[in-house]
Amino acid sequence: MELKKYWQPEAETMPREEIRKMQSEKLVKQVRHAYDHVPPYRKKMDEAGVKPEDIHGIEDIRKLPFITKYDLRDNYPDGMLATDVGKAGCVRIQSTSGTTGRRVIAYYTQHDVDLWEDCTARAITAAGCDRNDVCQIAYGYGLFTGGAGLNGGSHKVGCLTVPMSSGNTDRQIQFMQDLGTTLLCCTPSYAAYLGESLKERGIDPASLSLKAGIFGAEPWTEEMRRDIEKSLGIKAYDIFGLTEISGPGVAFECEAQHGMHVNEDHFYAEIVDPDTLEPVPVGEKGELVFTCLDKEAFPLIRYRTRDICVLDPTPCICGRTFIRMAKPMGRSDDMLIIRGVNVFPSQIETVLLNEGYAPNYRIEVDRANNSDTLDIYVELGEEQFGDTVKSVTNAEKKLAGAIKTMLGISPVVHLVAPKSIQRSEGKAVRVVDKRKLID
């Protein structure tokens, strides 16, 4: 049987005028839904002096106010959940990493899960896979959307789904060998690590059945793509998404490997200037903003992702008509993504203060052998400075443990002499990111 090229061809190859018409109709309904059932959004619209009756089509989206992470934080845990749906109408939550204050809880009805899983099924189909494939999912399962999102799409496509979750590299490799895994889904850094691990064990990638990988959740370069493709013997596809909007599959790469198609029947993408919030001309760089066109439980409108990005409206050789987004080129806030985990420097600062240290620290992030490293330099207090090496080592371990509990990833902590961290006269430069994440 011939390989399916698209998961939902009627949507994925819809003529542009029809996409726009569909988006217009959906937006009108969605704004009404949010105004009637999401009280914080109603308040924002009232403050902006805009009513649902003012929205006649997608061209009116500019009249609508933005939603930011702060709105979600202020309304934690369920203030942005549509009241007509309520918790009883939901079947799932997912959540971002972070402390309670930073955490975002996204709610899903069965319909929301269905459309999300269709998006990941589109990505899996675009990677050349179908029901004959064995899909090994090594994204984290649990609150993180990676595992659950790809798992759902893999089921829809009918792949044999191997829900490994992340870590345990020996077992990952063993399952690849024993089950004949053809599609690997994980973060690009873990894919690179798996490639190196094969080499270390003397396993030739050609002896495996792997043919494709779907990698995302963190920035990665074209250079890294080439490394992964070589070390695993596959074609590596990028996938983009964020918890607030649904999860992985908001946009996905096709065989052209040249930008990710935004699933425009469900999500409307805009690029705005992060300072003026005015839309920038097509093809120019700015902050990516998404509107969920048909989600029921968590219908975010004009959500500021903080990702800096460019949209490409030119036609794609794959035949999909959905617009493409380039790899994100950075962020307009201070969030770092370290080993696939979203990290805010303020979370690290909170731990330092709780553990009795002064906020004199430097965070250094680097990438060695395609894996992120996190080093945190913290000044000892004058009274601790005379302590023995053993007690300092113990204190470093204790602090590293507390930071791991907060972030979910382990740092290397270096306790250094008082006043040895450079003071700044202006804004403190606390983060040094030495990774080259943009080509």
Residues lying near ligand DLL in the complex (CB under 6 A) = 96, 139, 145-146, 216-219, 238-243, 247-248, 305, 307, 327-328, 337, 342
335 alpha carbon, distance to own chain's centre: 12
- Buried-exposed string 357-369: b where 16+ CB fall within 10 A, e elsewhere: beebbbbbbebee
Taking a C-beta distance cutoff of 8 angstroms, is the pair 84, 108 a contact? no
**Min. distance of Cβ 363 from ligand DLL in angstroms?**
18
Q: Which residues contact 84 (CB under 8 A, 6 or more apart)?
A: 33, 36, 37
Nearer to ligand DLL, 162 or 242 (CB): 242
Position of tokens 């899909």? 135
Give all strands (DSSP E) within 273-314, no chain letters.
Answer: 286-292, 303-309, 311-312
Nearer to ligand DLL, 90 or 236 (CB): 236
Nearer to ligand DLL, 154 or 305 (CB): 305
Nearer to ligand DLL, 33 or 69 (CB): 69
- Residue 361 CA to residue 355 CA, distance in Å, equals 13
Nearer to ligand DLL, 228 or 239 (CB): 239
| Helix, strand or coil, per DSSP, at residue 57 | coil
Nearer to ligand DLL, 305 or 360 (CB): 305
Q: Which residues contact 392 (CB under 8 A, 6 or more apart)?
A: 380, 384, 415
- Take residue 314 and report the two structure tokens written for it: 């030119």
Nearer to ligand DLL, 109 or 145 (CB): 145
Surface-to-core class of residue 312, CB atoms within 10 Å of its CB (0-12 exposed, 13-18 middle, 19+ buried): middle
Nearer to ligand DLL, 152 or 216 (CB): 216
**Min. distance of Cβ 384 from ligand DLL in angstroms?**
36
| Cβ-closest position to ligand DLL | 216
**Min. distance of Cβ 93 from ligand DLL in angstroms?**
13
**Min. distance of Cβ 185 from ligand DLL in angstroms?**
8
- Take residue 400 and report the two structure tokens written for it: 């590293």
Taking a C-beta distance cutoff of 8 angstroms, is the pair 379, 358 a contact? yes
**Min. distance of Cβ 67 from ligand DLL in angstroms?**
14
- Residue 239 CA to residue 251 CA, distance in Å, equals 6
Tell me which residue of 387, 260, 377 sits closest to 326, measured CA to CA: 260
127 alpha carbon, distance to own chain's centre: 19
**Min. distance of Cβ 209 from ligand DLL in angstroms?**
23
Nearer to ligand DLL, 152 or 219 (CB): 219
**Min. distance of Cβ 356 from ligand DLL in angstroms?**
31
**Min. distance of Cβ 200 from ligand DLL in angstroms?**
26
Q: Indicate left, alpha or beta for 431 from its phi (over 0: left) and psi (-120 to 50: alpha).
A: beta
**Min. distance of Cβ 146 from ligand DLL in angstroms?**
4
